[in-house]
Structure 1
Amino acid sequence: MDVVPPLPRTGRLWKTKADFFRPFRSAAASETGQNITLLYDPSLHLQETDEEPDLRDLNGALSALVDIFPDVEPEAVREMLLSVSESSRVEIVTEQLLKKHLKWHRGRIWAAFRKEGAETDHGKQQRQARDHEPGLTNDDMFRHDSYKSAVKQVLYKEFSHLNHSTIKAVMAEQNYSYTLSRPILQQLASRTWRSSFANMLSRRSTVQAAEQHPYIAMESSSSTDVAPAVRRTGSAQLDHELYQLFVDPISRKQGQDRLAVDHAYATEINQTEAEDNNALFDCECCYDAVPFERMAVCDDACHQLCFDCIRRSTHEAMYGQGWAQTIDTSKSTLRCFASSAEVCAGALPAEIVRRALYDPAKTEDVWEALQNRAAGDALLKSGLPLQRCPFCEYAEVDEVPPLRVRRLLLIWSHIATRSSTTLQIMILSLTAALVLITVPVFLLASLIWIAILLIPPLGAKLDASWSRVYKSRSGHRFKCQNPSCARTSCIRCTARWRDPHVCFENEKTSLRTAIESSATAAVKRTCPRCLLSFVKSSGCNKLVCNCGYTMCYICRQEITAKEGYGHFCQHFRPSGGRCVECERCDLYGDEDEEGAIRKAAAAAELAWREKEGGKGGEDGVAAQRMVDALVGRSQRLRWWDIVLDTLIDAVAA
């Protein structure tokens, strides 16, 4: 009798009815073509939205509260909105912020430079949008459930070797933003035994990173180019975010490379046809034979100059010592530099020079830089009082309008409501004297007016007083009208304007605030279950939230009740230091926390020094302005200047 060996235990083949029918459904889907991978097309799917009415209400309330309290982090406002009911949520949060403003303000100041360390193209676009129109970005808004679920699935596949609880904790810290969560997860992945492999991946190019991404499909569009595409994740917002991170840089780079190759090929064909037809012209600078399409002619003696000589001359003028001799600032173009003529008063047409400077392989616009520098030289030679934008080359004339006298009733109303008591008493006394001696006072005023007109120092005093009064009325906020800049700055301290704005804040307070904010952001942790943010001050690295969620402070992984303290290293280390027998987290180790704080503090201090260093000047103007702001303008002006300013402010319209 044959003995049949028992079958090995492999577990249940089908746990549910769905597991039994899954192979048949997959085969049916493959026959009908339903398993075709859908790709994201920004021209078709960009208008799709995942936002619900309740989510729109939350984002509207968040935008309103951030506008009211611009110095409070949006993260703090989001936490408070989630903790109140739907009815009167804006009023309740506003009341709480007014009562506990210092508590929410300390360590949570909205510092834009904290997120500019490792900035991607997508993050740079959002920062520029915030610079032009201050407010919230997509990373600060409430997220839809479909977006959260899609981000979670994408990160699960991309970082399959990380624990799911770690990924959820990082997502909760970064408001479920894929762009902000991905760099942190890459750093956490580098701490494992795959650190060497992860470091190699961090130095990959954009094309290699896109090829390894699970939701990026690489399709061959031609024999050489490989066009990437985004597989649909179920959320149009995440699809567009992946497109901006991976596909758009590659597409733009391929377009630039293709344009450069086409331009070089067209130039080569044009050169060959011109040589075959004997249609070459000699350059009067380098005496090289070039086609007519690559030749410029001056507007005076018709000297012929090739595009290569124009580019070399422009480069020498911009970055060398030939600016005054090469550039005609009155026409914002190049002078004729033909070597066959001793002196030529002509200039090259601006449109031809622009064509000569065009290079599709370079991203910088040399022609625009040339025009900006020529315009700057023309403004300096004009001698006009200018107010410049500290972020670009834009400048406008800082002119003061002519003095206009108000009507008598408006003058009296201004004196009665806005002037000091001493000045009111003086005006009343003067009015009583005018009633008694009208003619002598009128004659005195006439003599003063004539003296102002005839004596230049008195007129200069009056103009200076009116200039001070006008600038005091108009304020120190300066709006740049350059469409590519459109930033708002302060006239006194030349810093970017942010409400509430204070000129020349105390350096030690500013530095301490920047370091504290960066250090808080470096050690902050967020519970992925209740979204409560906290910072560990002492104790072990096993953190228990108020909601009962337990996580590791170092790796952010969830610690189950079964695992307990077994998540941490159990080996004895008499000399301390890193454990060489396992890669588990330390129970009381804080070297990673101290290193993160030091790195964040160093970055904050460097950013603060770069920011504050740009305000100063060697001529002492910025230093004098700072003294004026700290000491006060009234202590530097004489008493008669103050009286004159008060009178001009009352009389001028």
Structure 2
Amino acid sequence: MSDRPAHTGEITLPDQDDKDNHLTGLNRSLSVLAIIFPHVLPDVFRELLSTYEGESCLHIAVDQLLKHQDAWVKGRWRTAASDPKDEINSSQGNQLLVAAEDEFRRDSYKWATRAMLREEFKSLSKSKIEGVLAEENYCYTRARPTLQRIVSKSWRNSINSFFLRWRKPAEPPSQDHWMMVWPKDGVKAKTTPILRETGDAELDMELHRTVLAPFLEKIKQERETKDWETSLVMNEAEAQVAGAIYECECCFSDTTFEQMATCTTGDHVICFRCIWHAASEALFGQSWGRNIDHARGQIKCLAATSADSCDGCIPQSIARRAIRQCKGGKEALAKLESRLAAEALLEARQRLINCPFCSYAEIDELYIPPSTIRYRLKTTDPITTLFLLTLLLTLLPLLLLYTLITRSPLFSHLPKPTALLFTSLTRLSHAHHFPRRFQCRSPTCYLPSCLACHKRWLDPHICHESASLSLRTTIEAARTAALKRTCPRCGLAFIKASGCNKMTCTCGYIMCYVCREGLGDEKKSGEGYRHFCQHFRLNGGECRECERCDLYKGEDDEVVAKRAAARAEKEWREKEGMVGVEGLGGPMEEKAKRMWYTGDWTLQGFVDWWIDGVLVC
């Protein structure tokens, strides 16, 4: 393996065009495999295409995955998108099945990434950095956090942290990326940083996207916030000198004209602080009915000086401006508008289709002629059907009593039994005829969902898929990823089942399984077993004379796998809303259990449950 220093210009090779064409063909084959096998991670495809070279490598890879999928995948299944932006793009149908970080990398990108990481992590060996890069497909953004964790566990970092704890630094340490440079204009440094060139345009763009752009956006927001606060102070000082100060009729404080609002009647003036406090108390407190006018969807007048209650409201445009300029105002304004829209839809008493991930809803405009609908008894589970029919006969006197009660003028607001039955039958027919895929149109969500099981739609979608099977697949993938190692030379992924920590790949590359450091080659004299501890230890305990890796004992694989499995299960339960649920079954079964155990049920929900268990459309 030859080292190549960082370059400042373009890298040119004699057969660069042939390599670029070959790389383009491999990435095209990678995309084809991702389309055919959408639930398999791209690591498997790269391993297959690297193993079977030639013009027919794609056909061989497809054949191998169709015949021996479990042997090649080994738990490396695609569970869900890790980036929320990727989720939004995938729901819109614009996401590439293979991200740029998972494609085959160019040699110039590898050399530039390798040189940057070696310069940053000088305390780590080259083979250890190479091992991490091979595991992360030579992606700088993914490999750098792993190397930072490895460095933080080293003895040098522990000693430095111990001494730095007792020494007070002269100035706080800089949190900037080490590739970020602040150029100087003469003696004074400029306020906008730049990134050093890496020698590869692709890596430069990646660093600009992940490092420089977020940093500049943060600086811009901080400057805008500071300028806004300074402008408010200056405006208030000038208004006091000019005598242009107004008194708020809610909190009786003096405020400038630009920070005041007038109610719709024109009789009272309210400052922006009171408007923000009223909206915050309505959203997060107990004053929703007191501060919000439901008919007009506006904040009520907050004046305390009027003898009678004012019928005016704060204009919507001014209320938005007052809420938006406060800290956390954008989120509060979005939540306020969402709640107002939800209550307006509920008061409209329309048939709605709700997004299970946010408050977005649409009116169900599907019309099915009644003459085309045919209902019949469900015969797939006769015992359940017989039980529900018996339950109806048992509750028949209560049903007749409820019918008489709803005819009384005092209880006219209660839903009629015929309306409940008709709504349930309509929902049953809609569930059968309506397209199951629902696309949310909210700009903050935009996730597709299934109308039958209310889960996120992932092609190919299987309704009511067992939650325990999904959890088991997620845990298996997490355990495999935690124990996986990748050969830096040939890219083969492997997991140690037994034996010592000196791992020899089929290509001849030797590495330490614990620290990933290369140990030379079988055909050449290398470090080999000298990398491991050579001291005698009583009863196989820890060595107190050196810090070398143990030949047989290292990081407990079972502990690592359990830790990764516990983390994956926690994330899965939070994402699926299954926190605290024991004995996972099917999604619909769990939904019914939650409804009865927590008391979260309605009369319409009970009728829907009975109709769904007795009839089919």
TM tier relative to shorter chain: 0.7 to 0.9
State the shift of 1:276 in Å: 1.7
Distance 1:638-1:248 versus aligned 2 partners, 3 A rule: closer
Does the Cα contact within 8 Å between 1:190 and 1:199 map onto a contact in 2? no
Residues 440-451 of structure 1 mapped to structure 2, 5 A cutoff: none
State the shift of 1:51 in Å: 9.9
State the shift of 1:224 in Å: 9.2
1:484 and 2:450 matched: no
Distance 1:258-1:611 versus aligned 2 partners, 3 A rule: closer
* Separation in structure 2 between the aligned mates of residue 382 and residue 525 of structure 1, nearest angstrom: 58
1:570 and 2:534 matched: yes
Aligned counterpart, 1:437: none
Residues 100-499 of structure 1 mapped to structure 2, 5 A cutoff: 100-112=68-80, 125-126=85-86, 129-130=89-90, 132-133=92-93, 134=95, 135-196=97-158, 208-210=174-176, 213=178, 215-219=179-183, 226-341=191-306, 342-359=308-325, 362=328, 364-403=330-369, 467-499=427-459
* Separation in structure 1 between the aligned mates of residue 420 and residue 457 of structure 2, nearest angstrom: 32
Residues 60-71 of structure 1 mapped to structure 2, 5 A cutoff: 60-71=28-39
State the shift of 1:265 in Å: 1.2
Aligned counterpart, 1:42: none
- The residue identity in structure 1 corresponding to 2:553 is G
Distance 1:201-1:218 versus aligned 2 partners, 3 A rule: farther
Aligned counterpart, 2:385: none
Does the Cα contact within 8 Å between 1:220 and 1:226 map onto a contact in 2? no
State the shift of 1:404 in Å: 7.6
SS at 1:194 equivalent: helix
1:524 and 2:467 matched: no
Does the Cα contact within 8 Å between 1:616 and 1:623 map onto a contact in 2? no
* Separation in structure 1 between the aligned mates of residue 227 and residue 446 of structure 2, nearest angstrom: 35
Distance 1:511-1:368 versus aligned 2 partners, 3 A rule: closer
Partner of residue 603 from structure 1, selected from 562, 567, 570 = 567
- The residue identity in structure 1 corresponding to 2:118 is Y
SS at 1:112 equivalent: coil
* Separation in structure 1 between the aligned mates of residue 78 and residue 302 of structure 2, nearest angstrom: 54
Does the Cα contact within 8 Å between 1:299 and 1:349 map onto a contact in 2? yes
| Aligned alpha-carbon RMSD (Å) | 3.8
* Separation in structure 1 between the aligned mates of residue 265 and residue 329 of structure 2, nearest angstrom: 33
Distance 1:337-1:322 versus aligned 2 partners, 3 A rule: same
**Cα-to-partner distance string for 1:49-71 (whole Å, 9 max, x where unaligned):** x9934333322221222122111
Distance 1:128-1:156 versus aligned 2 partners, 3 A rule: farther
Distance 1:601-1:612 versus aligned 2 partners, 3 A rule: same
* Separation in structure 2 between the aligned mates of residue 259 and residue 278 of structure 1, nearest angstrom: 28
Aligned counterpart, 1:550: 510
TM-score by length of 2: 0.77
* Separation in structure 1 between the aligned mates of residue 274 and residue 614 of structure 2, nearest angstrom: 63
* Separation in structure 2 between the aligned mates of residue 404 and residue 319 of structure 1, nearest angstrom: 45
Does the Cα contact within 8 Å between 2:74 and 2:480 map onto a contact in 1? no
* Separation in structure 1 between the aligned mates of residue 612 and residue 229 of structure 2, nearest angstrom: 69
- The residue identity in structure 1 corresponding to 2:231 is A
* Separation in structure 1 between the aligned mates of residue 260 and residue 517 of structure 2, nearest angstrom: 67
- The residue identity in structure 1 corresponding to 2:544 is V
Residues 582-621 of structure 1 mapped to structure 2, 5 A cutoff: 582-614=546-578
Does the Cα contact within 8 Å between 1:146 and 1:235 map onto a contact in 2? yes
Residues 33-44 of structure 1 mapped to structure 2, 5 A cutoff: none
State the shift of 1:274 in Å: 1.4
Aligned counterpart, 1:506: 466
Does the Cα contact within 8 Å between 2:8 and 2:198 map onto a contact in 1? no
Does the Cα contact within 8 Å between 1:388 and 1:395 map onto a contact in 2? yes
State the percentage of identical aligned residues. 39
**Cα-to-partner distance string for 1:509-565 (whole Å, 9 max, x where unaligned):** 333322221111011011111100000000000000000000000010100233110
Does the Cα contact within 8 Å between 1:542 and 1:551 map onto a contact in 2? yes
State the shift of 1:157 in Å: 0.6
State the shift of 1:92 in Å: 3.0
Aligned counterpart, 1:23: none
Distance 1:382-1:266 versus aligned 2 partners, 3 A rule: same
Does the Cα contact within 8 Å between 2:180 and 2:193 map onto a contact in 1? yes
SS at 2:194 equivalent: strand
Does the Cα contact within 8 Å between 2:7 and 2:198 map onto a contact in 1? no
* Separation in structure 2 between the aligned mates of residue 36 and residue 607 of structure 1, nearest angstrom: 42
SS at 2:174 equivalent: helix
Residues paired across the two proteins, number: 535
* Separation in structure 2 between the aligned mates of residue 392 and residue 64 of structure 1, nearest angstrom: 34
SS at 1:290 equivalent: strand
Partner of residue 52 from structure 2, selected from 77, 84, 105 = 84
State the shift of 1:193 in Å: 1.7
Distance 1:364-1:349 versus aligned 2 partners, 3 A rule: closer
Aligned counterpart, 2:378: none
Does the Cα contact within 8 Å between 2:464 and 2:588 map onto a contact in 1? no
Larger Rg belongs to: 1
* Separation in structure 2 between the aligned mates of residue 290 and residue 277 of structure 1, nearest angstrom: 13
Does the Cα contact within 8 Å between 2:33 and 2:45 map onto a contact in 1? yes
- The residue identity in structure 2 corresponding to 1:275 is Q
- The residue identity in structure 1 corresponding to 2:477 is S
Does the Cα contact within 8 Å between 1:387 and 1:396 map onto a contact in 2? yes
Does the Cα contact within 8 Å between 2:182 and 2:190 map onto a contact in 1? no
State the shift of 1:504 in Å: 3.7
- The residue identity in structure 1 corresponding to 2:575 is K
Does the Cα contact within 8 Å between 1:71 and 1:105 map onto a contact in 2? no
Distance 1:283-1:458 versus aligned 2 partners, 3 A rule: closer
SS at 1:261 equivalent: helix
Residues 17-28 of structure 1 mapped to structure 2, 5 A cutoff: none
* Separation in structure 1 between the aligned mates of residue 51 and residue 20 of structure 2, nearest angstrom: 19
State the shift of 1:88 in Å: 4.2
Residues 6-17 of structure 1 mapped to structure 2, 5 A cutoff: none
Does the Cα contact within 8 Å between 2:47 and 2:491 map onto a contact in 1? yes
TM-score by length of 1: 0.73
State the shift of 1:390 in Å: 2.3
Partner of residue 27 from structure 2, selected from 29, 42, 59 = 59
State the shift of 1:374 in Å: 1.4
* Separation in structure 2 between the aligned mates of residue 636 and residue 320 of structure 1, nearest angstrom: 38
State the shift of 1:474 in Å: 3.0
* Separation in structure 1 between the aligned mates of residue 459 and residue 149 of structure 2, nearest angstrom: 35
State the shift of 1:599 in Å: 1.6
